[in-house]
Structure 1
């Protein structure tokens, strides 16, 4: 059973962006301000978050687990990857999705040239990232990440935001980092500190592969100490007790349920219902953490598609009483809010 939730239309009373700006222009206390609509960066350039549409917030196209000391883009061929991946992207586009947040970090297979080709061929908006990934016991951290300071690391990430990634004009739409599941090590504390500094300079949202509530709470403490709002933090692979979900959710962070598969649809639906009952639905993000082409494996290895959410989860939520607006909240409104880079110029 499939559920169609595309083509959301505003009510007749909704202001257009042009009407809003025109209205504000007549207010004397706002004449010294200029407004820019919330935006993010896709691999094809700047995009208003209002135009992201139905969005999957945590997916992968290609991931290479060989390690930061051995990885090279020569390990994969773009044409082979495109042949494997493109049908899966077209499959989700047919279901009305318009955007995918591609979460593969540097030194694990981030390839912005490949993503640009796939975006052009699929017609989907694809977002890429800056940042480094410390989970899996630092296997995917470059050697300099161990010796440089948080300030030095953040300068690297800020440079990608300001100048582009890998010599291109492509800019990141978010920060992706990762930590182990236990108490934060010294180097993982440094990664979160660097992410905080980068956010303060760029406005990019921080998505941290985290898992349990303990490291997530410690990450929030580091962000708070650096003046970063919890609303700029996505608790990736969020898991824990109901009490832990509520405790961290009430702090204001995004709760990312991004491992949704055919096997755990019912479990995730019940968790989403619980979070709704705690008035936390506006902070919930959902995705599959699916894909991906694996360099070194025959034909890129097994690939898991991105269709469980539209084909199974959303119809299940609807059967459990979710309204059209609540479905829209999960797959349109929340992603747009979570990944917006809001700038106010004076």
Structure 2
């Protein structure tokens, strides 16, 4: 029986997770790297972005993808009205986010992120979930934050605690741009101290030695292999096969970290499409002996489990 917890939020509203279907869990429609102190929504025009991006969305829809998790955070180009328009035009479900991104040495943090407490930041993010983002009725479908690749600074510890507090109020999954195992372990420690299960944490850009990845994964966190491209298919087939052999396939999420429209560049700049998984990785996995059920685990079951709105306590 479908429980009341088995739902997510897309930019078009509440959706049963069973209706997400094949999902790419880390992609971008638009990213603006100008900085939190300079970014404004008038730096791009919706019609221009739609003209550029829509064909790429229709391309993955034709390959059976039904949903994408759009990971551009606030102050880096998050535009929920644009995403809603693209969702309606493409027929794809698109999930957006709340939270702040501290990686890249805090260039994309608003001024108050430096002075407010974790509790105050969490209240801002919870409000977006309860009321809607930027005057709309659009709710975030997950929390997006980010930290630098070394040991966590005091500021980044605060961002992670704020994400944990937000999760306890909303049940939204925490997707943190992390990278190496060191900050991932430190984030998991903060989650545990705040009473949040590591199962509420997506280790974004998970990387390291095989041993490090396996060790951190023992916590129960999600392993996000989100940099899949034409030049690293063999590497990912090997790693996904290893994770399967150690009974960790149910924690693996896959995506490209591709896109994206770049404001300020001619015609939005270079755009990387989202088809490598469909066209290259899946055939390679099947060649390696992966079953249709295991492919479905990666593209359908795991995203549905990860992005279901559910408070995950220790």
TM range (shorter): over 0.9
1:38-53 to 2 correspondence within 5 Å?
38-53=6-21
Inter-partner Cα distance in structure 2 for 1:205 and 1:342:
8
1:193-232 to 2 correspondence within 5 Å?
193-232=161-200
Secondary structure at 1:47 match in 2: strand
Q: Which ranges of 4 or more aligned residues in structure 1 deviate by more than 2 Å?
A: none
Q: TM-score, normalised by structure 2?
A: 0.98
Secondary structure at 1:251 match in 2: coil
Secondary structure at 1:96 match in 2: coil
Determine the structure 2 residue equivalent to 1:90.
Answer: 58
Inter-partner Cα distance in structure 1 for 2:135 and 2:15:
21
Determine the structure 2 residue equivalent to 1:152.
Answer: 120
How many corresponding residue pairs? 312
Inter-partner Cα distance in structure 1 for 2:27 and 2:196:
26
Determine the structure 2 residue equivalent to 1:289.
Answer: 257
Q: Are 1:38 and 1:343, in contact at CA under 8 Å, matched by a contact in 2? A: no
Secondary structure at 2:195 match in 1: coil
Determine the structure 2 residue equivalent to 1:121.
Answer: 89
Superposed displacement of residue 278, structure 1: 1.1
Secondary structure at 1:256 match in 2: strand
Q: Are 1:192 and 1:219, in contact at CA under 8 Å, matched by a contact in 2? A: yes
C-alpha offsets along residues 21-56 of structure 1, whole Å, 9 cap, x if unaligned?
Answer: xxxxxxxxxxxxxx5141110000000111100000
Task: Tell whether 2:278 aligns with 1:310.
Answer: yes
Out of 128, 132, 136, which is 2:104 matched to?
A: 136
Extract unaligned runs of 5+ from structure 2.
none
Secondary structure at 2:158 match in 1: helix
1:256-295 to 2 correspondence within 5 Å?
256-295=224-263
Inter-partner Cα distance in structure 2 for 1:250 and 1:222:
16
Q: Are 1:36 and 1:343, in contact at CA under 8 Å, matched by a contact in 2? A: no
C-alpha offsets along residues 213-238 of structure 1, whole Å, 9 cap, x if unaligned?
Answer: 00000000000000000100000000
Inter-partner Cα distance in structure 1 for 2:20 and 2:197:
23
C-alpha offsets along residues 68-123 of structure 1, whole Å, 9 cap, x if unaligned?
Answer: 00000110000000000000000000000100000000000000000000000000
Determine the structure 2 residue equivalent to 1:175.
Answer: 143
Task: Tell whether 2:172 aligns with 1:185.
Answer: no
Aligned pair in 2 of structure 1 residues 343, 250: CA closer, same or farther (>3 Å)? closer
Larger Rg: 1
Determine the structure 1 residue equivalent to 2:24.
Answer: 56
Extract unaligned runs of 5+ from structure 1.
1-15, 18-34
Superposed displacement of residue 277, structure 1: 1.1
C-alpha offsets along residues 261-298 of structure 1, whole Å, 9 cap, x if unaligned?
Answer: 00111111111011111110000000000000000000
Superposed displacement of residue 337, structure 1: 0.3
